[in-house]
Amino acid sequence: MTDNWPVIAPAPGTPACGPPSFEPQRGWTVTRHADLRAALTDPAFQVPAVGTGQPGTLAWLRATVSRFSPPERHGERRAVVVAALAPLNPDDLRHDAARLTMDVLDRVGDRFDVMRELARPVPLRALADRLGFADPAAAGTAVAVVAAAYHPGVDLALTARADRAVAALLALAPQGPPAVRANLIGLLVQASDATAGLIGAAAHHLLPPAALPVPTTAGTADLLAEVLRLDPPVRATRRVTVDGVRLGGQDLPAGSRVLLRFDAANRDAQAFTEPARFQPGRPGAGLLTFGTGERGCPGDRHALALATGVLDVLRERCRRSPTPLRHAPHPTLRVPTNLEVIVR
């Protein structure tokens, strides 16, 4: 009976589902599941263009990774990422993350901050190691600096720090063509905030004493899928229309700025039965938080494996401290700033 499943309220600022809406200063906002899926798979909706810069800088990295590439370059650059991930067994990543998590718990004492000690460093260290970076711990530290400035529009001080961090990552990356090395770094950057946010949200919702009343037999992977749906670390993504297009009954002119709201679409009653209920293993329409189509996340299984490794250990050995949860301010991400837990 679904009546036994708990309800999770939407995060502040999550819009209700409805037809695409327009505001002169913000452009179009898309909230319905079917409309998001259509936009994510329609070539009329493209990732906003980014500028470039000197080789080895943050601007160069953004202009070279598949994430921000124009259509004519995206396929070849995505192929680099897919090829780098192909040899990585998600089960190995899960075991690596669990081992590193246990190492942290053995040294931190009886209380520690999940975000600082686990959610940010552990997935990056495990992934950087498997990708062949020379010093995985140092790579993870540098990636966090790049991630803070990765999206266009940050201030010059953050950009300067990120330029130095990109140079450090290139020194640690495996040898290869510049575009390959850039996309390996981009893989780590893409995993940084998103995986940390998922681990933080899952620890908040699933660890006692204030855990959701879900069966203890529920597998971590199924639990994480519902956390991704109801409290996603990536709340939205941006597109620009390159042609005039009709979406959800609305006509969007060419050049329209479009914000695709995963957090709203994941609660669409047309796609999910009782969408506010936390129901691991639920049937129904596919989760959109990892995107879909040719720009869907190629590392979704790997990210879930890393988060599962951390959460498996936390569920067994820790409970959450009843301290308020805060999130870093960001227009499209939802990542806790700190989350204290107690080792049992």
* Helix, strand, coil % over all residues of the chain, rounded to 5: 50, 15, 40
For the chain, what is the total number of helices (H) and then of strands (E)?
12, 12
What does the pLDDT average to over 120-145?
97
Q: pLDDT tens for residues 178-233?
A: 999 999 999 999 999 999 999 999 999 999 876 666 656 678 988 999 999 999 99
pLDDT at position 138 over 80: yes
Q: Give the contacts of 329 (CB within 8 A, at least 6 positions apart).
A: none
Angle at the Cα of 190 (from 182 to 329), degrees rounded to 5? 130
Top pLDDT among 286 and 18 is at: 18
Confidence of residue 17 (pLDDT cuts 50, 70, 90): very high
- Paired residues of 338 in beta bridges: 326
Name the more confident of 342 and 153. Answer: 342
User: Is 322 a residue whose pLDDT tops 90?
Assistant: no
Give the DSSP H or E segment for 304. Answer: helix 300-317
pLDDT tens digits, 64-111: 999 999 999 999 999 999 999 999 999 999 999 999 999 999 999 899
- Those residues with Cβ within 8 angstroms of residue 161's Cβ, 6 or more apart along the chain or in another chain: 145, 148, 149
The reported pLDDT for the residue numbered 326 is: 93
Measured from the Cβ of residue 78, the count of other Cβ atoms closer than 10 Å reads: 19
Residues 3/227, Cβ–Cβ less than 8 Å: no
Q: How far is CA 124 from the centre of its chain?
A: 13
Query: Do residues 225 and 287 lie in contact, with contact meaning Cβ atoms separated by under 8 Å?
Result: yes
What is Dmax (Cα atoms) for the chain? Answer: 58
What pLDDT is stored for residue 243 in this prediction? 97
* Distance linking the first and last C-alpha atoms of the chain: 32
Rg value, the chain, Cα: 20
- Count of domains observed in the chain: 1
In this prediction, residue 38 has a pLDDT band, given cuts at 50, 70 and 90, of very high
Structural domain including 55 reads 2-343
Answer yes or no: is pLDDT of 1 > 60.
no
Residue 45: its pLDDT value, please?
97
- Provide, rounded to the nearest whole percent, the portion of the chain with pLDDT above 70: 95
- pLDDT, mean of residues 255-264: 98
The residue with greater pLDDT, 259 or 289, is 259
Q: Specify whether the CB–CB gap between 108 and 117 falls below 8 A.
A: yes
pTM as predicted: 0.94
Question: Would you state the pLDDT for residue 2?
Answer: 45
CATH number of the domain bearing residue 324: 1.10.630.10
What pLDDT sits at residue 157?
82
pLDDT at 54 over 50: yes
**DSSP summary character for residue 182:** H
pLDDT of residue 215: 58
CA distances from 172 to 3, 129, 183, 291 (A): 52, 11, 14, 30
pLDDT higher for 269 or 324? 269
pLDDT value for 117: 97
pLDDT of residue 61 exceeding 50, the answer is: yes
Torsions phi, psi of 302, nearest 5? -70, -40
Neighbours of 161 (CB within 10 A): 17
Residue type, 144: A
* Confidence class for position 12, pLDDT limits 50, 70, 90: very high
Token pair 């009709």 in the structure block, residue? 246
3-class state of residue 50 by DSSP: coil
Give the length of the chain: 344
